[in-house]
Every structure is written in structure tokens, then in C-alpha cells.
């Protein structure tokens, strides 16, 4: 799922591409995409985009007159931009559903080009809400703390973190507590802070909470700047949760680039938690449900037991 840095890169590109551009036509290829009924999307036709907003993990296109298109990309939704060829208005695609393999959900025609929304795979989770005002659009946000917003303090962070008692992994990814953080960046933030994903939020000391806040702000700002810079004046084409520059996310069984210990992973539902047992959990290895059921009593509980499992005496 695109998280804060990716959404900010999209927001930057959409602002550069669409602000002051008039919407001439639109096609909603799949009716499930539209999750609101009060405002017809066609109300925005003939209006120019005046602003592009981020609401947590949602993106809002605000049009003159107040109509706002609020998109949630979920896991596999992506924006694509096709610049117009020549001075003519880009042709609208035929009415009806396109080839299902294309993953096309909707298309929006501007004189400068076509903005498309696609979704990979067979599950259709991306959504579009059409509302009357920026205030109604902002209400779709889950209300989590904006860590990169000017004025956000360590005390604000501690209060949000301790509002409920959850593991740090769950707390960071709860959109009611923190805005825009998901599976991949929560792994990276916790690694940067040297904290266990499974520590409980209400048991964390002030010093550890402040270190976690500092790591979160620094990492989210660093990745946002990097992705915006990487796209430049082009439209983002590489939006992914797995990047080679990351330290732990997606690095299962690879050596930690800080200490050399094999990165560990716990998979649950459609998510996973990646961590370094030496740098984050005091050498403790937590059981992955599937593997621990398979290995039962042979499941390694410490780095030392993991090393013995990976390199048995007399082994090659």
C-alpha cells in the first residue's frame, strides 16, 4: 500500500501536472470504485483543479467550485499519466469496461493529458469519494497525527502512542493514531529507533518514545524528499513497498546491514513484520505462525539457536 512518502510524491506530481488544468471528460470503468452517492463525478467537468491534498493515505483533487475527488489507492491502486500528443484534446476511451487484464478503473481527460487509475490483481479495493468541499474531504481522514506537520511535538506523539495499549508495530500503523504510516515504513522506523515491534506502547519510556518520534520524523521526511526528487518533473512510475535501500522491510533472511544478523519476519493476513533480533529485540526471535506450527519445539527462540539451526555442527 502506498504510504506517506509515496502519496506525497504523487501529490507533488499531480500538483505540477493538473493544477489550473480543466477536466473535460471522465470514465468510471468499474462502478464499485465510486463509494459515494451524494455528488455526481460529472459535476467537476468543466472545472479546473485548484489544489491537490493528502488526507492520510488518501489523495484529494479539489476543483474550482469546491468539488473534491478523494482517492484511496489501497494496496495495488496506482496513478498513471499520459501526456497529450499535440494541441488537441485527448480522446476519451470507449464507454464500457476495458480489458480486465489492464486493471483500468477510471480515466480523467485534461487538455494536457489523461490521468488513469489502475489496480493490479483481481481484488478491487481502491476507492473514489466525490464530496462538495475540502472540509468534507478532510473528514474522510482517520484522524491520525501528522508527524511532518509543523508544530507536531514529541508530547503530541507520546499522547497518541499511549492512547491505546498496542504493540508498537500496530500503533504506528493505526490510522486513528498516526497518519500515513503503513507496513513498510513502520518496520524501518522501528529499526532506526532500535525498538522491538512487539513492545507495548503504554509501557514505553519517555526516552524511548522520544527516540521513536525522532526516528519517524527523520525517516518519513528523508523518504518523502527522496521519492519527490527521484520523480523530478516526471510522474512517479515506481511506487512500491519494497526498496533495496531499506534496512529490514522485505529483507527476510538477509544479513542486517548494521550487525550482520539474519533479518526475521512474521507474516499475518496480508502483512508482515520484519525486524533484526540483535538490534531490536535483545536477541529474541518471535514465532512466525506458519513456520512455528511446522517446526514446533524446534523453532529457534534466540539468535544463538537460529545460528545453530542455520549452521549445524559438522554441516557444510
pLDDT in tens, 274-291: 999 999 999 998 876 554
Number of residues written out for the chain: 316
Task: Let me know: does 107 contact 84? Beta carbons within 8 Å.
Answer: no
More confident residue, 96 or 13: 13
**Per-residue DSSP letters for 242-285?**
--TT-SSTT-TTSBPTTT-PBPEEEEETTEEEEE-HHHHSTTB-
Residue 259 pLDDT greater than 80, yes or no:
yes
CATH of 154-231, one of 1.10.3720.10, 1.20.1250.20, 3.40.50.720, 1.10.8.50: 1.10.8.50
Which among 111, 91, 134 is positioned nearest to 20, based on CA atoms?
A: 111
Averaged pLDDT, 254-282 = 91
pLDDT at 138 over 60: yes
The hierarchical CATH code for the domain 4-138 is 3.20.190.10
Residue 304, pLDDT score = 55
Task: Give the pLDDT band (50/70/90) at residue 296.
Answer: very low
Report yes or no: 118 and 77 within 8 Å, Cβ to Cβ. yes
The β-bridge relationship of strands 104-110 and 23-28 is: antiparallel
Mean pLDDT value across residues 281-302: 61
pLDDT at 292: 47
User: What DSSP designation does 232 have?
Assistant: T
Is the model's pLDDT at 101 over the cut of 60?
no
- Could you give the angle at the alpha carbon of 130 between the alpha carbons of 126 and 136, nearest 5°? 110
Residues 6+ apart with CB under 8 A from 86: none
Is there a contact between 11 and 228 (Cβ–Cβ < 8 Å)?
A: no
Q: Are strands 58-63 and 49-55 parallel, antiparallel or unpaired?
A: antiparallel
Q: What's the pLDDT score for residue 244?
A: 86
pLDDT single digits (tens) 199-242: 999 999 999 999 999 999 999 999 999 999 988 777 887 777 78
Its sign, for the CA torsion 209, 167, 275, 313, is positive
> Does residue 99 carry a pLDDT above 80?
no
Mean pLDDT of 308-313: 50
- Residue 103 in contact with residue 119, Cβ under 8 Å? yes
Nearest one of 252, 259, 273, 148 to 199, comparing CA atoms: 273
- At 92 the pLDDT is 73
The span from the CA of 191 to the CA of 70, in Å, is: 32
Q: Are 195 and 280 in contact (CB under 8 A)?
A: yes
Domain boundaries, the chain: 4-138, 154-231
**What predicted TM-score, i.e. pTM, was given to this entire model?**
0.86
Amino acid at each position: 500500500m502506498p504510504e506517506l512518502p509515496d502519496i506525497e510524491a504523487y501529490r507533488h506530481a499531480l500538483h505540477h501536472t493538473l493544477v489550473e488544468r480543466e477536466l473535460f471528460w471522465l470514465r468510471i470503468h468499474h462502478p464499485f470504485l465510486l463509494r459515494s452517492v451524494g455528488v455526481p463525478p460529472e459535476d467537476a467537468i468543466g472545472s479546473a483543479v485548484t489544489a491537490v491534498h493528502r488526507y492520510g493515505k488518501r489523495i484529494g483533487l479539489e476543483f474550482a467550485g469546491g468539488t473534491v475527488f478523494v482517492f484511496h489507492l489501497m494496496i495495488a491502486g496506482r496513478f498513471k499519466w499520459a501526456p497529450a500528443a499535440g494541441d488537441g484534446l485527448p480522446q476519451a476511451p470507449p464507454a464500457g469496461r476495458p480489458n480486465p487484464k489492464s486493471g483500468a478503473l477510471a480515466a480523467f481527460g485534461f487538455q494536457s493529458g489523461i490521468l488513469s487509475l489502475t489496480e493490479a490483481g483481481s481484488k478491487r479495493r481502491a476507492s473514489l469519494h466525490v464530496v462538495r468541499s475540502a472540509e468534507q474531504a478532510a473528514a474522510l481522514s482517520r484522524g491520525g497525527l501528522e508527524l511532518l506537520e509543523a508544530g507536531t511535538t514529541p508530547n503530541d506523539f507520546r499522547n497518541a502512542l499511549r492512547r491505546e495499549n498496542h504493540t508498537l508495530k500496530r500503533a504506528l500503523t493505526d490510522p486513528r493514531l498516526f497518519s500515513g504510516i503503513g507496513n513498510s515504513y513502520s518496520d524501518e522506523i522501528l529499526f532506526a529507533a532500535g525498538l522491538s515491534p512487539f513492545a507495548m506502547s503504554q509501557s514505553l519510556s519517555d526516552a524511548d518514545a522520544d527516540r521513536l518520534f525522532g526516528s519517524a520524523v527523520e525517516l518519513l521526511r528523508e523518504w518523502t524528499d527522496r521519492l519527490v526528487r527521484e520523480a523530478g518533473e516526471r510522474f512517479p512510475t515506481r511506487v512500491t513497498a519494497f526498496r533495496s535501500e531499506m534496512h529490514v522491510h522485505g529483507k527476510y533472511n538477509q544479513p542486517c546491514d548494521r550487525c550482520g544478523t539474519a533479518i526475521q519476519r512474521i507474516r499475518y493476513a496480508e502483512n508482515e513484520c520484519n525486524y533484526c533480533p540483535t538490534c531490536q529485540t535483545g536477541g529474541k526471535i518471535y514465532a512466525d505462525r506458519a513456520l512455528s506450527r511446522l517446526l514446533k519445539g524446534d523453532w529457534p527462540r534466540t539468535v544463538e539457536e537460529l545460528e545453530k539451526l542455520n549452521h549445524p555442527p559438522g554441516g557444510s
